[in-house]
Amino acid sequence: MSKILIIEDDAAFCQMLQKFLTRNGYDVEVSFTAQDAKIKFAKSAFDLVLTDLRLPNYDGVQLLTDFKEINAKIQVIVMTGYAEVGSAVDAMKKGAYDYISKPFTPEEILMQIKSALNEEAVSKSNSKTDHTKKSGSVESSDSEDQVISGLSEASRKLNEYIKLVAPTNMSVLITGESGTGKEVTAKAIHDQSKRNKFNFVAVDCGAIPKEIATSEFFGHIKGSFTGAIEDKIGHFEAAHQGTLFLDEIGNLSYENQIQLLRALQERKIKRVGSTKEITVDVRIITATNEDLTEAVEQGTFREDLFHRINEFSIETPALVDRYEDLMQFADYFLQKANRSLEKDIQGFSEEVIAIFGKYHWPGNLRELQNVIKRAVLLTTGDFVEKETLPKEVHKTKEIDFSDEKFSKADYEKDQIVRALKQSNFNKSKAAKLLQITRKTLYNKINHYNLDL
């Protein structure tokens, strides 16, 4: 029986959820505060944590980080209120499996829990924690998953870059906002390369506690430290002759950066506890949604490593910059949701299509996919109707979109100016608030000709 910990300060809601999940066969404990949750988490082994993002006297994202430090493989789903998508995206970057917007139906949360616990045949390719589960092993690609090429100019350029760089052995740094398809891009490069007969090993550097990172990357031999009960190969060896994809590379500790650089330069590694050198032939693809050049300037990311991983760089476009692709992706995600939920929804109502076009999608393709899956679950007729969309997607509803493109630009411009003012015109801080890279912010400032 899987064990779940719910953390939610609304006691009535929390108990209702507990009853519902218990009826569905889970062993459920509840906490109304982060402090109590930490004590419970330390005492028993949970399979999944369901936590509110806004807790009294504690930040839900911090709590997630605390849990991940104790158990890197714990599945965490965060519950968010209206207009908290930004924090939810932040939580996903820190290793949350998924987020769910309140209010939600019991069926919705049950579906996510089952998916997180791998209790149904739902594609897990959108899960970051999936990497940690698979760490050291081969990434299995879901045969049902396709890569959509997109019709926009931004997509055309992205595909062209993938095609150009794939056959080479160059290290590729993929930058882009969260949920824009960085991992999908890395996999596409691997698939189109000569290395495609060998493994594509995806590692989420943000989810590996730094104490075990060396052993995760390079493996260890039995008895080399407490807990090393058998020999284990690391990600480098697993990716031999294939591709090693390091997601959230900016999260690697300075010490791990040195080790990584050495392995890349010498093309040799040693397992922890062994003196034997093992030759490895690995192509490195990395991804980040932070500004690494800024991290280099601040001295938190090594410049030599930055140049080593950045022989070629690709930026995955935000969904707002590829609106022409929106409905193509929406249709694809609809079919994907139909398959996993065994439904046969035919399409979207006109109103839903209009709402999709007006929303700014801060969580990008991942958010679009989640919104559609939720809507498909709630849809009883043939078409997805606006009532099945979460509140935040309706947010831009009152804006007059007589000229849709112009208004979207207006909305974005307004957000940028607001973020800049809020951060005292510090562009790095503003980029963080907007959840885009500093480079994207500069591009947008130039694009809109903002005189600052």
Ligand X SMILES: Nc1ncnc2c1ncn2[C@@H]1O[C@H](COP(=O)(O)OP(=O)(O)OP(=O)(O)O)[C@@H](O)[C@H]1O
Specify the 3-state DSSP secondary structure of 219: coil
CB of 367 to ligand X, least distance (A): 9
- The neighbour count for residue 3, using CB atoms within 10 Å, is 14
Minimum CB distance to ligand X smaller for 58 or for 245:
245
Minimum CB distance to ligand X smaller for 17 or for 436:
436
Q: Whole-angstrom Cα distance, residue 374 to residue 105? A: 10
Minimum CB distance to ligand X smaller for 204 or for 412:
204
CB of 76 to ligand X, least distance (A): 14
CB of 421 to ligand X, least distance (A): 27
| CA nearest neighbour of 318 among 421, 197, 182 | 182
Are the beta carbons of 198 and 161 closer than 8 angstroms? no
Nearest residue by C-beta to ligand X?
181
Q: Which residues contact 50 (CB under 8 A, 6 or more apart)?
A: 4, 5, 6, 7, 8, 17, 76, 77, 79, 109, 113
In this structure, which amino acid lies at residue 150? G
CB of 133 to ligand X, least distance (A): 15
Sign of CA dihedral 61, 101, 146, 365: negative
Tally of residues, the chain: 452
For 309-332, letters b (16+ CB in 10 Å) and e give bbebbbbbbbbbbbbebbbbbbeb
CB of 30 to ligand X, least distance (A): 29
CB of 3 to ligand X, least distance (A): 27
CB of 375 to ligand X, least distance (A): 16
| CA nearest neighbour of 23 among 115, 110, 104 | 110
CB of 432 to ligand X, least distance (A): 14
Structure tokens at 325: 């692709």
Judged by the rule CB under 6 A, the positions of this chain that interact with ligand X are 92-93, 125-126, 128, 147-148, 176, 178-184, 247, 287, 289, 316, 332, 365-366, 369
Q: Which residues contact 9 (CB under 8 A, 6 or more apart)?
A: 32, 33, 52, 55, 56
For 276-292, letters b (16+ CB in 10 Å) and e give eebebebbbbbbbbbbb
Minimum CB distance to ligand X smaller for 46 or for 348:
348
Q: How many CA atoms lie within 13 A of 13 on its CB side?
A: 15
Are the beta carbons of 349 and 382 closer than 8 angstroms? no
Minimum CB distance to ligand X smaller for 155 or for 214:
155
Minimum CB distance to ligand X smaller for 8 or for 315:
315
CB of 294 to ligand X, least distance (A): 17
17: part of which helix (H) or strand (E)? Answer: helix 11-23
